[in-house]
Structure 1
Amino acid sequence: MDTVTEFTEVKGARKYRRRTVDEKRQIVEETLSSGRSVAEIARSHEVNANQVFDWRKQYLDGRLGVNGRECALLPVTVNEVNDSSVDEAAACPPAAPSPGIIRIQLPRGDVHVEGSVDPDTLRVVIQCLSR
């Protein structure tokens, strides 16, 4: 009797790489600070972009070891205002509140904010530039 033996190649289960909290944080910070898209950064680290978006949410919620919503105190310098402009402003108060201007100098760049800004966006920009 003839017997036929078939060999089939069984592919092993897909192995997922487990990322440490530090690796996740580094990837998320890269998405927040660089001008590259999340998908591009995810591909470069061989991670699904949806996973990176989930890590970003965890990061901002403070679940990756750093509280993304926690405020950090930074040194502030207040420039003197010309006294004549203060007297003029006191004499003629504006009818409606006018938006202010904020200038922040950080080691990695300067931030100039005019008008109203989303506080969450401003916090992320300051965090990224202050590291």
Structure 2
Amino acid sequence: MTEPEGKPGSRKGRPNYDREFRRRLAAAACEPGVSVAKLARDNGINANMLFTWRSRYRAQLQAETTPLIPVAVVHETPPARVAMSAQASGVDHRTPRNGTIEIRIGSALVKVDGAVDAETLRLVLGSLQS
């Protein structure tokens, strides 16, 4: 007797799970409070396999998100220029720039009034991405 021929690329003894099945379980494994080991056991698969699927699923979601967001200039005013006297020319008196930056990322809103340190703003925006 000969063995039945499988699909090209299929491996004997190892099931080839449907792509939709893998995606559905990986998405379920990303839900808060879900035990990946219990989810894997309930579906008859190895927990390490589900961890791998979940990792690939998260990487795919990250790749699909666009790093750039649309920006709209609401009101643009040139910075105010202040004339300095000859006596004060040796002293560094900077006038703070007035303005507002409003950034919406998903349900989060970051609103910045006045002058802001660029590094601080970078840290705040970076924390919203994770």
TM-score (structure 1 length as normaliser):
0.43
Of structures 1 and 2, the one scoring higher in RCO (CA 8 A, sep 6+) is 1
Larger radius of gyration: 2
